[in-house]
């Protein structure tokens, strides 16, 4: 009877914690690390931020064999980036915009770049932010990319995608990212 009582008490004590845990975290991370990441995930959810990128980053760290401290620190940094992006993009920002904005911030963009994009391009910012992230990933300076994306607003999203292709073509030609950017802009026109 004592055993049964103990098992029930232990299970009831654990159940609320286990219920809220993402199974992927508990499967791939040490339990204390999973709990620390889960705390950040819960805190992001409470703040109205997207939570999936935090889980994704923790899984990436686990797959790459990063230490527990490094994983938690990385997730914490992304949490902050998500919050900054949400603040910069304003109250109506979609989860997709916030995620792209956060990655943009981590890629060298500033909150001011995000605010400029929000003010300069009405409507959904998913494509402009994707292009900004792609350009930053190709080594284009965030200020230059942001300015071009605002300038090209009247031409629509399709032209923005072509801009990335132009940069790729220039990079394949063997120039530096800045040279590739300038030649792409020249070919692309105002």
Partner 1 sequence: MTDRHEDLVERAGETLRGESGPPGMEERISRRVMAGIRDGAQRRRPRTAALRLGALAAGASAAAMMLWWLAGAGAGAGPDQTEPAPGATRHRFALVAPRATSVAVVGDFNDWDPQASRLRSGRNGTWTLELALPPGSHRYAFVVDGTHWLPDPASGATIADDFGDGNSIVTIVGRS
Q: Which residues form the interface with partner 1 (CB under 8 A)? A: 1, 3-4, 6-8, 10-11, 15, 18-19, 21-24, 53, 56-57, 59-64, 66, 70, 73-74, 77-78, 96, 100, 103, 106-107, 126-127, 130, 133-134, 137-138, 161, 164, 167-168, 171
Smallest gap from Cβ 57 to partner 1, in A, equals: 7
Token pair recorded at residue 67 = 């230490």
User: Which are the contacts of 36, defined by CB distance < 8 A and separation ≥ 6?
Assistant: 68, 72
Q: Which is nearer to partner 1, 66 or 190 (CB)?
A: 66
CA-nearest of 27, 72, 26, 21 to 42 is: 21
- Residue 116's Cβ-side half-sphere holds a number of Cα atoms within 13 Å equal to 16
Q: From residue 32, how far is each of 19, 25, 39, 47, 74 by CA, in Å? A: 16, 10, 11, 23, 16
The answer to whether 118 and 89 are in contact (CB under 8 A) is yes
For residues 43 and 107, which CB has a smaller minimum distance to partner 1 in the complex?
107
- Of residues 162 and 190, the one with the C-beta less far from partner 1: 162
Is the Cβ of residue 2 or residue 190 nearer to partner 1 in the bound state? 2
Q: How far is the CB of 130 from partner 1 (least distance, A)?
A: 5
- Nearest in space to 33 (alpha carbons), one of 103, 45, 48, 41: 41
Nearer to partner 1, 14 or 190 (CB): 14
Give 70 or 187: the residue with its C-beta nearer to partner 1.
70
**Separation between Cα atoms, residue 156 and residue 142, nearest integer Å:** 20
Nearest-approach distance from CB 62 to partner 1, in angstroms: 7
Calculated CA dihedral for residues 67, 69, 71, 72, nearest 10 degrees: 160
How near is the Cβ of 91 to partner 1 at its closest, in Å?
Answer: 22
């Amino acid at each position: 009877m004592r055993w049964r009582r103990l098992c029930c008490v232990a299970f009831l004590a654990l159940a609320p914690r286990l219920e809220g845990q993402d199974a992927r975290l508990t499967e791939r991370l040490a339990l204390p690390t999973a709990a620390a990441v889960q705390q950040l995930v819960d805190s992001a959810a409470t703040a109205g931020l997207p939570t999936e990128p935090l889980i994704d980053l923790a899984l990436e760290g686990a797959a790459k064999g990063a230490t527990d401290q490094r994983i938690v620190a990385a997730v914490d940094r992304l949490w902050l980036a998500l919050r900054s992006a949400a603040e910069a993009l304003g109250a109506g920002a979609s989860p997709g915009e916030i995620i792209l904005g956060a990655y943009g911030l981590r890629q060298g963009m500033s909150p001011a770049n995000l605010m400029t994009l929000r003010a300069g391009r009405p409507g959904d910012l998913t494509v402009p932010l994707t292009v900004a992230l792609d350009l930053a990933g190709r080594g284009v300076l965030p200020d230059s990319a942001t300015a071009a994306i605002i300038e090209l607003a009247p031409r629509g999203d399709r032209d923005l995608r072509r801009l990335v292709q132009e940069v790729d073509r220039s990079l394949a030609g063997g120039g530096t990212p800045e040279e590739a950017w300038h030649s792409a802009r020249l070919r692309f026109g105002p």
